[in-house]
């Protein structure tokens, strides 16, 4: 699903974000990316959605080298990747329904299907009653659920969650990750970049450790703190 071969990324000002990254994530994997701020977690996500292009190496997503992707190809790639952000990144002035409808329309979903599917998605994330509420009036946890409903609305093969619990209380955090775990059980590949030790330790999944733009560890059932072998 994801294959990075010696991938590096340097910002235009010469600052290095990622160095010689080698990584393989298979279909159906559930992976935590951990590491201090600036370690390169978000940069990996930006490379995966082609917001950035590797300055060296080969990055394959869904079996294809995405380096040459342009315009519509990038849009198609992103429709197949659901993204969840720490700051939710919702269309705040719009309703919950509108946010999900927009993503589905952008993903080319027919109107009939959108009308049928949005209530179902909102039920899944426990927001059925809030369909017509303006996003800006929701709590942080509710906004993140809208973000999740949006992320899965186009049935993506992969979910990227960048600090999804960063602004949430511990209880809501576990609920969010539980939701992602359930998606993963149905075959969706999930990558979560996080600082949340409690969450990582609770789920005991694959953990990739990053430091200064390099992978310094990769444990199949890891904890937040890396154990040096």
Partner 1 sequence: MSFIKNIPFFILESWKGLFRNGWMSLASVAVVAITLFMLSVFVLITLNVQHWAEVIKDEVEIVLYIDENATSSEEASLQEKLDEHQEVSSYNYVSRDEALQRLETQLGSRGDLLSGYDNPRENPLRDSYEVRTEIPEQVPQVAEEIAQYPAVAEIFYGEDVVENLFSATRVLQIAMMALMGALAVTATFLISHTIRLTVMLRRKEIMIMKYVGATNWFIRWPFLLEGFNLGLLGTVFPMVGIYFGYYQVQEWFESHMQFMPSMVSMPEAFIDVAMLVVPLGMVLGILGSTVSIGKYLKV
Q: Choose, by CB under 8 A, the member of 15, 27, 64, 89 that binds partner 1.
A: 89
Count the site residues for partner 1 by CB under 8 A: 26
* DSSP calls for 128-159: GGGTTSBGGGS-HHHHHHHHHHHHHTT--SEE
* Closest CB 100 distance from partner 1, rounded Å: 10
Please report whether residue 51 would count as binding partner 1 according to CB under 8 A: yes
* DSSP calls for 23-49: EEE-TT-EEEEE-STTSSHHHHHHHHT
**Residue among 150 and 205 whose Cβ is closer to partner 1:** 150
Output the CA torsion sign for 96, 28, 26, 191.
positive
**Residue among 20 and 134 whose Cβ is closer to partner 1:** 134
Closest CA to 150 of 116, 186, 106: 106
* Closest CB 75 distance from partner 1, rounded Å: 5
d(CA 226, CA 218): 9
Q: Choose, by CB under 8 A, the member of 83, 127, 176, 183 that binds partner 1.
A: 83
Q: Choose, by CB under 8 A, the member of 24, 56, 58, 106 that binds partner 1.
A: 106
**Residue among 103 and 168 whose Cβ is closer to partner 1:** 103
Please report whether residue 23 would count as binding partner 1 according to CB under 8 A: no
């Amino acid at each position: 699903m994801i294959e990075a071969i010696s991938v590096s990324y340097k910002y235009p000002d010469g600052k290095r974000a990622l160095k010689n990254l080698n990584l393989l994530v298979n279909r159906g994997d559930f992976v935590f990316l951990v590491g201090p701020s600036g370690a390169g977690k978000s940069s990996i996500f930006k490379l995966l959605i082609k917001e950035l292009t590797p300055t060296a190496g080969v990055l394959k997503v869904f079996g294809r080298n995405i380096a040459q992707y342009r315009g519509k190809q990038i849009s198609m790639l992103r429709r197949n990747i659901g993204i969840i952000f720490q700051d939710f990144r919702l269309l705040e002035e719009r309703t919950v329904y509108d946010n999900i409808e927009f993503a589905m329309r952008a993903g080319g979903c027919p109107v009939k299907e959108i009308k049928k599917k949005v209530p179902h998605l909102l039920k899944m994330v426990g927001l059925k009653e809030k369909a017509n509420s303006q996003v800006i009036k929701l709590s942080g946890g509710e906004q993140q659920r809208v973000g999740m409903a949006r992320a899965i609305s186009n049935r993506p093969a992969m979910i990227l969650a960048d600090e999804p619990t960063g602004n949430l209380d511990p209880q809501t955090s576990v609920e969010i990750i539980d939701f992602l775990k359930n998606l993963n059980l149905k075959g969706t590949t999930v990558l979560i970049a996080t600082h949340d030790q409690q969450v990582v330790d609770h789920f005991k999944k694959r953990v990739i450790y990053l430091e200064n733009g390099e992978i310094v560890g990769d444990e199949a059932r890891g904890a937040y703190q890396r154990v040096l072998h």
